[in-house]
């Protein structure tokens, strides 16, 4: 039997009163998990590569019944195309934490053989010339042309030596990121 808003509200109240968690199934793998604390969470159960898996679709009432059904349908289309939604989210999350800026800051923290002044200049150059343009992008999505545009902007100000040093620094960050991302992916 499909859920409706009235059933959802009464299910939340019943779960709250009893202090127990309950699952209320809507269909095609979608269900509402009502917690004894009074919260309600949309979940989608699916089977992929012989394994049962579950993915979160949001919290009720932030995600309405209609929205949950739409999200369920979107995820089921991905599953039909052979895309595992959990794996897809994991990859997106890793891409979010592997931005150029975060990896550059991580790299600078590991530089123990340079003077404080050199590290400070590296940070200043990155803050002024690089981060505003490519800092928030996942490092694996930054093309050589994008870095070249950043370097051309620095050169246009007449700071050729600064542009050269930024290129060298970015190259080192990319090398560090390659080993760092490979290590993260294996754990």
Q: What is the pTM of this model?
A: 0.57
| Any domain includes 91 | no
Task: Clarify whether residues 77 and 112 are in a common domain.
Answer: no
Q: Given this model, what pLDDT does residue 117 score?
A: 95
Task: Clarify whether residues 67 and 108 are in a common domain.
Answer: no
* CATH number assigned to the domain comprising residue 19: 3.30.160.390
Instruction: Count up the domains in the chain and report the number.
Output: 2
- The whole domain housing 158 covers 98-186
Task: Clarify whether residues 110 and 174 are in a common domain.
Answer: yes
Write the DSSP symbol of residue 113.
Answer: S
Mean pLDDT by 10 residues, the chain (187 residues): 77 80 90 87 92 94 92 95 91 78 93 93 96 91 94 96 96 86 47
Q: CA–CA separation, 153 vs 126, rounded Å?
A: 13
Q: Given this model, what pLDDT does residue 1 score?
A: 59
Q: Given this model, what pLDDT does residue 177 score?
A: 85
Q: Given this model, what pLDDT does residue 75 score?
A: 96
Q: Given this model, what pLDDT does residue 95 score?
A: 65
Q: Given this model, what pLDDT does residue 3 score?
A: 77
Q: Given this model, what pLDDT does residue 144 score?
A: 92
**Structural domain ending residue among the three candidates 57, 82, 107:** 82
Q: Given this model, what pLDDT does residue 187 score?
A: 40
Task: Clarify whether residues 76 and 119 are in a common domain.
Answer: no
SS3 59: strand
Q: Given this model, what pLDDT does residue 34 score?
A: 87
Task: Clarify whether residues 175 and 105 are in a common domain.
Answer: yes
| Any domain includes 90 | no
**Structural domain ending residue among the three candidates 24, 50, 82:** 82
CB 57 within 8 A of CB 45: no
Q: CA–CA separation, 50 vs 145, rounded Å?
A: 43
CB 98 within 8 A of CB 140: yes
Task: Clarify whether residues 75 and 105 are in a common domain.
Answer: no
């Amino acid at each position: 039997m499909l859920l409706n808003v009235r059933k959802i509200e009464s299910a939340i109240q019943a779960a709250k009163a009893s202090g127990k968690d309950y699952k209320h199934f809507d269909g095609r793998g979608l269900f509402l998990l009502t917690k004894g604390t009074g919260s309600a969470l949309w979940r989608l159960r699916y089977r992929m590569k012989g394994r049962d898996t579950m993915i979160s679709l949001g919290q009720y009432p932030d995600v309405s019944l209609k929205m949950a059904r739409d999200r369920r349908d979107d995820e089921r289309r991905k599953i039909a195309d052979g895309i595992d939604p959990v794996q897809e989210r994991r990859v997106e999350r890793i891409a979010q934490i592997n931005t150029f800026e975060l990896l550059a800051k991580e790299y600078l923290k590991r530089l123990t053989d340079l003077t404080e002044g050199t590290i400070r200049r590296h940070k200043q150059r990155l803050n002024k010339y690089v981060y505003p343009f490519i800092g928030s992008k996942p490092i694996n999505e930054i093309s050589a042309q994008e870095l070249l545009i950043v370097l051309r902007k620095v050169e246009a100000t007449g700071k050729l030596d600064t542009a050269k040093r930024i290129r060298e620094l970015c190259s080192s960050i990319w090398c560090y990121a390659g080993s760092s991302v490979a290590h993260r992916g294996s754990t």
